[in-house]
Chains A and B, each alone.
Chain A
């Protein structure tokens, strides 16, 4: 069925898509916002560890669901096997209104100046496509500020000694320290480091008509029961809908972007309740995540773009990155568990850059979110302790409240062969070709991981840990919820997919606005950067896209 035309179709109501829809609607454009998931409330998923975004053993509370989606993932032996969305190897990003931001931990980081100039800082290591971004921190700063104020970030301006110049403080003070942060903060100072409160997209006080955080422990991986967590579902998207110019269509599954003989987009085709719709439009924005956006572009192949929209030079789907999380656990004589969420409260940026021995990049180090019992029993077991039996039970019982974890998202060197591509002869429940994922991490990431882990152990020991043990990344392909890099932004159409304003090279009415465009992914959680880019790209889009 062909629907009445609109100005812009935005595919994906997540971290970026919600902002793009809001900004375009505020500027007077008629927008349709497509979202494959549902609009969810806290009560649907509650505080259930086994159905949270971190522990999906009983299914993805926030989608996508195992009954409708499937991918192929490369195993160690080079063979591909089918993986469901609730399995780690699927590399799931939540599918609901708000996307990942509906249940995220909500750390709200600005990348550092050098994170945009990685090639200039480190050269290009063998086996990597490391490059500079075509924009600088200074270009993006006003949009970081906009994201902090419009989405709502609590933090302490100036507290991070390594942060570049900012034009405005945070709109809210930081959340208070918990027991862990109260021990770790002075320990870091004794080590000569520079600890500070983590900036969070969580209200520390009432903001924009929603209350402050109530310090519930079920934070990362859960919907917020008081809406103090600033997802796009409670910020940008309601404001977009209030304009009456944006229509949100949930449970709509985009099949392809239709194009004309000149290679311009004319419509988005999507399924809703088993029926196929065609939504004509003047422009399309793909904000589906760094795995689903390339999939949509591959599936939008045409005579002019036989390998997929924007894929003339075979860069779509490549350079898949996430973060090589590295850190350590520490065991303490005293109880350090206070049950106060979100728990991740203190960080250091002393090891994001300038590491010894030619190591490239690094990571911020922070104390972890609360570890709930099942994940603790599986993951926080000291070497030498059995993984089952009485000794295991006694370990869990003894140390659950006397342990901390410190870790950091190690910035990854982009690898051209680490990628998503269409899976041969495998489709989702709507018959749409699905993805396969393959590749590996760069050796640098594993070395940096060991270094970061050693610093995490040092920090925990200084804070009084009687025993520490490392947590190290694997060598397999990265991605996960921080997935990025698969539609690289650049000035040269031969070595990138979109221009500095996120428009696909030589397709003048299709934009990619999500983590896909990141050239590199920083040593930080990426959501605030994704959102700053969304404000940056839409500011230009509004100029370039005349109203009908």
Chain B
């Protein structure tokens, strides 16, 4: 049974072409990340929840959720990001001979699958944390900086329910 492909009719590539003009990380000022870190975090977000015919974590501005919360409720994780992003960048150079950001999308995915399965020692816990924060930023309330234009709620068809206006 194809659990993931259920009633998915629109090809991912068609949509990617349509959103190619979406502004990238520079859309708003950053409070926690350097510009270099932000590019890397945004690329990770794009891998964790990619765009198809619905926006992904990059388009939904999840970078800004993480950036803002690392200066707030998630401040205790800021050192993990500082260290983890640097480690991830260097592990990528070692394993692939290239910068993570210069890898094609599919090669980035392959590298992160290696990371997630523990093949880059010490980085799997960091990546699990980024996955969790990305899910929070994408599926949580737009009030916290992510889920821009209620992108995930529109995708799930629950905008009215989540806004609490159903009754």
The residues of A with any CB-CB pair to B shorter than 8 Å are 46-50, 57-59, 84, 86, 214-218, 225, 331, 337, 339, 372-374, 376-378, 382, 384-385, 387-401, 466-467
A505 nearest CB across to chain B (Å): 42
Interface flag for B158 (CB, 8 Å): yes
> Given A57-B136, A59-B73, A397-B54, is A391 in contact with B156 using a C-beta cutoff of 8 Å?
no
Determine if A218 and B156 form an interchain contact, defined as CB atoms under 8 angstroms apart.
no
Interface flag for B149 (CB, 8 Å): no
Q: How many angstroms from the CA of A395 to the CA of B6 in the assembled complex?
A: 8
Q: How many angstroms from the CA of A385 to the CA of B5 in the assembled complex?
A: 11
Binds A, one of B27-35, B42-50, B79-87: B42-50
Determine if A388 and B49 form an interchain contact, defined as CB atoms under 8 angstroms apart.
yes
Determine if A390 and B1 form an interchain contact, defined as CB atoms under 8 angstroms apart.
no
15 A–B contact pairs at CB < 8 A?
A47-B163, A48-B140, A48-B143, A49-B141, A50-B140, A50-B144, A339-B166, A373-B156, A373-B162, A376-B139, A388-B48, A390-B50, A394-B4, A395-B3, A397-B155
Interface flag for B157 (CB, 8 Å): yes
Determine if B139 and A377 form an interchain contact, defined as CB atoms under 8 angstroms apart.
yes
Q: How many angstroms from the CA of A391 to the CA of B12 in the assembled complex?
A: 12
* Inter-chain contacts of A382 with B (CB < 8 A): 3
Interface flag for B89 (CB, 8 Å): no
Q: How many angstroms from the CA of A176 to the CA of B8 in the assembled complex?
A: 34
Interface centre among B47, B56, B143, B161 (most CB of A within 10 A): B161
Q: How many angstroms from the CA of A393 to the CA of B134 in the assembled complex?
A: 12
Determine if B3 and A398 form an interchain contact, defined as CB atoms under 8 angstroms apart.
yes
Determine if A390 and B52 form an interchain contact, defined as CB atoms under 8 angstroms apart.
yes
Q: How many angstroms from the CA of A215 to the CA of B167 in the assembled complex?
A: 8
Choose among A48, A218, A374, A398 the residue that contacts B135 (Cβ–Cβ < 8 A). Answer: A374
Interface flag for B164 (CB, 8 Å): yes
Determine if B6 and A398 form an interchain contact, defined as CB atoms under 8 angstroms apart.
yes
Choose among A49, A377, A395 the residue that contacts B4 (Cβ–Cβ < 8 A). Answer: A395
* Inter-chain contacts of B5 with A (CB < 8 A): 394, 398
* Inter-chain contacts of A373 with B (CB < 8 A): 139-140, 152-153, 156, 158, 162
> Given A374-B139, A378-B135, is A467 in contact with B3 using a C-beta cutoff of 8 Å?
yes
* Inter-chain contacts of B140 with A (CB < 8 A): 48-50, 373-374
Determine if A390 and B136 form an interchain contact, defined as CB atoms under 8 angstroms apart.
no
* Inter-chain contacts of B8 with A (CB < 8 A): 394, 397-398
B130 nearest CB across to chain A (Å): 9
* Inter-chain contacts of A376 with B (CB < 8 A): 139
Size bracket, chain B contacts: 35 or more
> Given A47-B164, A57-B136, A331-B3, is A393 in contact with B141 using a C-beta cutoff of 8 Å?
no
Choose among B47, B155, B156, B164 the residue that contacts A216 (Cβ–Cβ < 8 A). Answer: B164
Determine if B156 and A396 form an interchain contact, defined as CB atoms under 8 angstroms apart.
yes
Interface centre among A216, A388, A393 (most CB of B within 10 A): A388
* Inter-chain contacts of B24 with A (CB < 8 A): none
Interface flag for B103 (CB, 8 Å): no
* Inter-chain contacts of A389 with B (CB < 8 A): 47-48, 50, 109
What is the chain B residue whose CB lies nearest that of A47?
B164
Q: A373-B153, A373-B158 are in contact. List 8 more A-B contacts (CB 8 A).
A: A48-B143, A50-B140, A50-B144, A86-B73, A400-B156, A401-B156, A401-B158, A467-B3
Determine if B3 and A58 form an interchain contact, defined as CB atoms under 8 angstroms apart.
no
Q: How many angstroms from the CA of A400 to the CA of B159 in the assembled complex?
A: 13
Determine if A58 and B56 form an interchain contact, defined as CB atoms under 8 angstroms apart.
no
B75 nearest CB across to chain A (Å): 10
Interface flag for B95 (CB, 8 Å): no
Determine if A399 and B156 form an interchain contact, defined as CB atoms under 8 angstroms apart.
no
B150 nearest CB across to chain A (Å): 11
Considering the complex, which residues of chain B in the window 1-24 have a beta carbon less than 8 Å from any beta carbon of chain A? 1, 3-8, 12
* Inter-chain contacts of B141 with A (CB < 8 A): 47-50
Interface flag for B74 (CB, 8 Å): yes
Q: How many angstroms from the CA of A46 to the CA of B163 in the assembled complex?
A: 10
Interface centre among B3, B6, B157 (most CB of A within 10 A): B3
* Inter-chain contacts of A86 with B (CB < 8 A): 73
